[in-house]
Amino acid sequence: MGVMEKMRNSTGAILWLLIVSFGLLWVLADVDFFGALQSGPSALGTVNGEKISNEEYQSRVQYYTNAYSQQSGSSVTPEMRAYYETQAWNELVNSRLLEQKMEELGITVSDQEVLDMVYGDNPAPIIRQNFTREDGTIDRAAIQQVLSSSQFSQQAMALEMQLREQRRQQKLNNYISSGLQVTDSEVEKEFIQANTSANIDYLRFPYSEVTEQELEISDSDLRAYYNNNKERYRRDESYRIQYVTFSKLPTSRDTAQIIEDLRNLREDFAAAQDDSMFIALQASSTDYRPAFVAQDEIREEYQPVVDLEVGEVTDVILTANQAAILKKEAQQGNEIKFQTMSYNIQALPATVDEANDRAADFEFFASEETSFDEEAETRELEVKEAFATKGNNFISGLGSSQQIMNFLESADEGEVSEVIELSSDFVVLEVLEVTPEGYRPFEEVRAAVENNVKIERRKELTRQRVEELVNQYETLNAVAQASDKEIQSASGLSASATVIPGAGREPRVIGAIFALNEDETSGAITGNSAVFMVQLVEKTEANLANLTSQRRQEIRQRMEQQKVQEFTSIWLEELREGADIVDNRSRLLR
């Protein structure tokens, strides 16, 4: 009774609480608060708060997929689409970062600059491309018509926006390159390096000659090396996964059906009056060929066409990846003109659909009803494991896949993927473990550390031995006799080379060689794979008198382009690292 009495006494407060609650719910519903919660983020992503819309992202992806279809003549594969999606996203992020940087730097384009790009003495390339007469002059009247006519108002606006963006980008490039000028001395140094050569004799003392017994390495040596070189053992975010596959490869039933389809075309092919039209209408994988071929040049599997009468068609011929029927179209002496009606041996749509359905069925039950392992065991599917690293599309056992990496970079441990279509399989995978980026622990890399310490110790011991020999004997011949080594030679070695013939990649050694004078012998030079002792026999110096103004300009332009490309790549990466980039694709597009 006490509880009921308290409830009766609190009736007024409860009523007011209900009234306020219903009022709040009504207001939230009126502003579509719950719809907003369900719909998720409103933008595909943001870069420092600036939105990237789904429309512009999809438009850019569509542009790339259309271009692929036009160039290849086939529809875009899921893997290529995933690649283009990543490319489109990165381009949109980079363009936002560049636009923001241009705003920060105050890079703008005036109306007069746009007019100069259209009417000036040096019009923009897009103007030349679209408004040049046959004689090479610019059609000013056509430009004026497009810019002033209401009929072309949309085209005029698009043209103006494109010109402004081009000019703005050019100003940014000029801003970047202004601090990356190549000096005359750099050009001359590059010319000299490319045109200076040497003939040398040398002795090579490989590090591998130091035996294992000569190495004394303690645990403290290993840990000291690890602590001093931890950056070498930094790892990117990585993923351990397990997966099952459902093959899309053709079955014996598919091959039999393709053979039967071709057999059914034999009579029609023989009766066809226009073989070119017939082959095109039947979507043959081999095009019509009007040329005659000598009988002894016809490939072995196609030899049955030789014994046919003109107009006859062979039975089905199987090759590694095709089934074909051949028609003898004409014969001139020892030469034959024949046509090939062929189909590639590939999985038929029903086979592909069946594999897709089995994969989708497995994915549903593995993620919703049972577990990945239990479902695989029930269906008698082989579960394989693989390892992947962020930033590297290659996955062991599966090959390169942007789709899989896109999933992994936003997935949690235990998450099961949707069905992913690869070139020959449908794949469903589960994330077993996500390892964040950081330093790999010492015990995990101990073997690699020990190997590196041994390499350093071998270098140290080899250098000590060579220095002792050099101090004791001085000349190359004497050191060769004392060490029982054979003197090797290299002629025409360029100062810009990185490889010594017979000795491998040794840029540091080559640099030391060209610091010598003729007939001078070096001391011990530590290289990548060995310690060297070198005698410079002859040096051919480059003559700056041969550096023409044209060649000078070519070298300057190449070096400036290289500098700008390297700087821009690093600069963009730094902009990305310092930016607040939000990627909602996995939430909005899944």
pLDDT digit string, tens, across residues 483-514: 999 999 999 999 999 999 889 999 999 999 99
Question: Which residue do the tokens 């690093």 mark?
Answer: 570
Q: Please report, for the chain, the start and end positions of each structural domain, with discontinuous segments joined by +.
A: 2-39, 111-178, 197-216+445-540, 237-249+349-436, 252-344
| pTM summary value | 0.65
Predicted pLDDT of residue 123: 83
Q: What is the pLDDT of residue 554?
A: 93
Residue 34 pLDDT more than 60? no
Confidence check: pLDDT of 264 > 90:
yes
Give the pLDDT confidence score for residue 477 in this predicted structure.
Answer: 94
In terms of pLDDT, which residue wins out, 422 or 38?
A: 422
Residue 326 has pLDDT above 90, yes or no: yes
pLDDT confidence bin for 160, thresholds 50/70/90? confident
Which class in CATH covers the domain with range 237-249+349-436?
Answer: alpha beta
- The fraction of the chain above a pLDDT of 90, given in percent, is 55
Q: What pLDDT, on the 0 to 100 scale, is given for residue 31? A: 45
Identify the pLDDT of residue 41: 61
Confidence of residue 572 (pLDDT cuts 50, 70, 90): confident
Looking at residue 20, what is its pLDDT? 46
pLDDT at 586 over 80: no
Apex 162 CA angle, 157 and 164, nearest 5:
95
> Is 270 a residue whose pLDDT tops 80?
yes
Q: What confidence score (pLDDT) does residue 162 get?
A: 78
For residues 586 and 92, the answer to whether their CB atoms sit within 8 Å is no
List all residues 6 or more positions away from 363 whose beta carbon is below 8 Å from its beta carbon.
416, 417, 418, 419, 428
Whole-number Å distance between alpha carbons of 245 and 231:
37
197-216+445-540 CATH fold = Chitinase A; domain 3 (3.10.50)
Distance CA 72, CA 62 (A): 15
Q: Give me the chain's average pLDDT, please.
A: 87
Comparing C-alpha atoms, which of 281, 285, 277, 266 is closest to residue 327? 266
Instruction: Summarize pLDDT for 174-204 with one digit per residue, the tens.
Output: 887 777 888 999 999 999 989 999 999 999 9
**Residue with more model confidence, 123 or 509:** 509
Asked if 395 contacts 386 with a C-beta cutoff of 8 angstroms, the reply is yes
Domains 197-216+445-540 and 237-249+349-436 belong to one CATH topology: yes
